Amino acid sequence: MNTTLILELRDLSKSFELHHQHGARLNVLRGLNLRLHAGECVVLSGASGAGKSTLLRVIYANYRPSYGTVHLRHDGRWIDLAKASPHEVLEVRRRTLGYVSQFLRVIPRVPTLDIVAEPLLQAGADVHDARQRAGGLLHRLNVPERLWQLPPGTFSGGEQQRVNIARGLIVPRPILLLDEPTASLDIGNREVVAQLLAEARAAGSAVLGIFHDEDMRDRVATRLFPMQALEAA
Amino acid sequence: MSALLKVRNLSRHYGQRIGCEEVSFDLHPGELLCIVGESGSGKSTLLNTVAAQLSPAAGNVHYRQRDGEWLDIGSLNEADRRRLAREEWGFVTQNPRDGLRLNVSAGANVAERLMALGMRDYGQLRGIARSWLERVEIDPARIDDAPTGFSGGMQQRLQIARTLVTQPRLVFMDEPTAGLDVSVQARILDLLRRLVNELGLAAVMVTHDLAVARLLAARTIVMQGGRVVETGLTDQILDDPQHPYTQLLVSSVLTT
């Protein structure tokens, strides 16, 4: 296996301070260390409430860490996302760090094909190539072509999830964060996602994900990272 | 990447009352920044002061113009400020009636800003006006109609066409979708989203609607009582708000 270190979390902590709930403080992550290498697929395991989704969001810089560092390799140099400027974070997300959640954020009136193609356009591809790649991915994920020109707002949960996966994977990024992207997919489509992830890993990407389905987890994980809920503070 | 606009310690007062106080931010080319907050938080005052429509009590605004030269907006004379507003900036007001000329046709409203830049060929002006009406989804057959007969949503789309036809580098927008029906809002937001991407516009938009910020802006500034209380990536601010006021704003939004 390729052993290039690509992401390193050191002493990472995250608490939420709820100012309007009598200043309640929720400690979700404390002193977490994790190293992720190119070609790996590390699956976060642990009961609901263990902080798995929070961890992915902290790495994506969607949540701001309370303490610790999120170092990742971007364009051949190391950058600490915990301290990066908003513009740096956007640049890292555009090309290095992908995130696929369980839910598609639907944009009114925007057709499925364009929703999928958008990240590739933002990464600098031209419209024709981006749409072609988007169509290719939607095709592999069994989203029927007659739906491509429709906004996905009225699609089923499984269809929306596949659109979301296509959007999340269309730019080949070195690090992929996946928060239960296959929760509402049937076996056939899970298999497609597993293949897409295997291809991404073969191309050198590292995957860090949450998969509750055990078959899926066994199919994709190269290593498990166990997590536990912290005691009430 | 180098900034397009630098705002430093900008303040504007109304007598003893604070309009906005000590506000600083940078805007990069191609970036849409939202300013959110409740009525009276100072967000429109800030927008108008940055856009040189109000004069500041303190602080400064620097803008990098097309030729790369930095301008100190506060030190420009009126003629230079007008030239900037005509050639490089655009302003979209909340009420389209404030940004349109109601007694001339839709086509003339679009063509007028081009004529101010020296374009004179009638056929060419009409052709561009027609194509911009199409871009903002107004039937080009309405080109000779006065906007008084348009719906509020159409008027707002016409104002957007009028503003963007000169391909400004920087656009200021003050609640462009407030006061419109939700379905009309969605159409305008989609339009703005597409045009901002296609034209690579930089924009500062004031809104009280956090969903608008989420949809359009990569970065957001939260204002309360004339001051910036929180600033950062829009998704950080909405998903992990730090300041008590931002937490209150975010938790007050109804989700469907």
- Per residue in A142-168, pLDDT tens? 999 999 999 999 999 999 999 999 999
* Length, in residues, of chain B: 256
Query: What local confidence, expressed as pLDDT, does residue B200 receive?
Result: 84
Percent of chain A with pLDDT over 70: 98
Q: Which domains does chain B have, with CATH numbers?
A: 1-88+169-176+210-256 (3.40.50.300)
Contact A179, A100 (CB under 8 A): yes
The identity of residue B130, as a single letter, is R
Which residue has 């701001």 as its token pair? A64
Q: What angle do CA A62, A68, A73 make, to 5 degrees?
A: 70
| pLDDT tens digits, A172-183 | 999 999 999 998
* Distances B142 to B55, B101, B146 between C-alpha atoms, Å: 39, 16, 8
Backbone dihedral angles phi then psi of residue B218, each to the nearest 5 degrees: -75, -35
CB-neighbour burial class of residue B100 (10 A; exposed 0-12, middle 13-18, buried 19+) = buried
Q: Which residue of B has its CA nearest to A61?
A: B236
Low-confidence ranges of chain B (pLDDT < 50): none
Closest by Cα among A137, A125, A195, A194 to A169: A137
* B182 Cβ under 8 Å from any chain A Cβ: no
Q: What domains can you pick out in chain A, each with its CATH number? A: 1-96+218-233 (3.40.50.300)
Contact B240 A64 (CB under 8 A): yes
- Contact flag B240-A90 (C-beta cutoff 8 Å): no
| B232/A109 touch (CB, cutoff 8 Å), yes or no | no
Of B47, B85, B53, B88, which is closest to residue B174 (Cα–Cα)?
Answer: B47
- Percent of chain A at pLDDT exceeding 90: 85
**Residue type for A53, please?**
S
Q: Which residues of A touch B251 (CB under 8 A)?
A: 20
Q: Which two tokens stand for residue B204?
A: 């500062």
Closest CA to B172 of B72, B98, B224, B250: B98
- A200-227 as b/e: b if 16+ CB within 10 A: bbeeebbbbbbbeeeebbebbbeeebeb
Report, in this order, helix, strand and coil percent for chain B, each rounded to 5.
40, 25, 35
Nearest beta carbon to residue A109 from set B1, B186, B244: B186
Q: What is the pLDDT of residues A117-151, one digit of tens each?
A: 999 998 889 999 999 999 999 999 999 999 999 99
Contact A33, A9 (CB under 8 A): yes
Task: Give the three-class secondary structure for B124.
Answer: helix
Three-state helix/strand/coil letters over chain A: CCCCEEEEEEEEEEEEEECCCCCEEEEEEEEEEEEEECCCEEEEECCCCCCHHHHHHHHCCCCCCCEEEEEEEECCEEEECCCCCHHHHHHHHHHCEEEECCCCCCCCCCCHHHHHHHHHHHCCCCHHHHHHHHHHHHHHCCCCHHHCCCCHHHCCHHHHHHHHHHHHHCCCCCEEEEECCCCCCCHHHHHHHHHHHHHHHHCCCEEEEECCCHHHHHHHCCEEEECCCCCCC
ipTM: 0.92
Tell me how far apart the alpha carbons of residues B114 and B247 are, in angstroms, rounded to a whole number. 44
Could you tell me which residues come within 8 angstroms of residue A12 by beta carbon, excluding any fewer than 6 positions away?
Answer: A29, A31, A32, A33, A34, A55, A58, A65, A67, A68, A69, A70
Give the confidence band of A233 by pLDDT, cuts at 50, 70, 90.
very low
Q: Do B235 and A62 lie within an 8 Å CB cutoff?
A: yes
Using a CB–CB cutoff of 8 Å, tell me whether A22 touches chain B. no
User: How confident is the model over A45-62, as a mean pLDDT?
Assistant: 96
CB contact B190 to A (< 8 Å)? yes
Under an 8 A CB cutoff, do A87 and B1 touch?
yes
Measured CA distances, B45 to A115, B20, B211 (Å): 35, 7, 22
Half-sphere exposure of A42 (CA within 13 A, CB side): 20
| pLDDT of res. A87 | 93
Single-letter residue type at A210: I
Is the CB of A86 less than 8 angstroms away from the CB of B233?
yes
Phi and psi (nearest 5°) for A32?
-85, 135
Which residue on chain A is closest to B2 by alpha carbon? A87
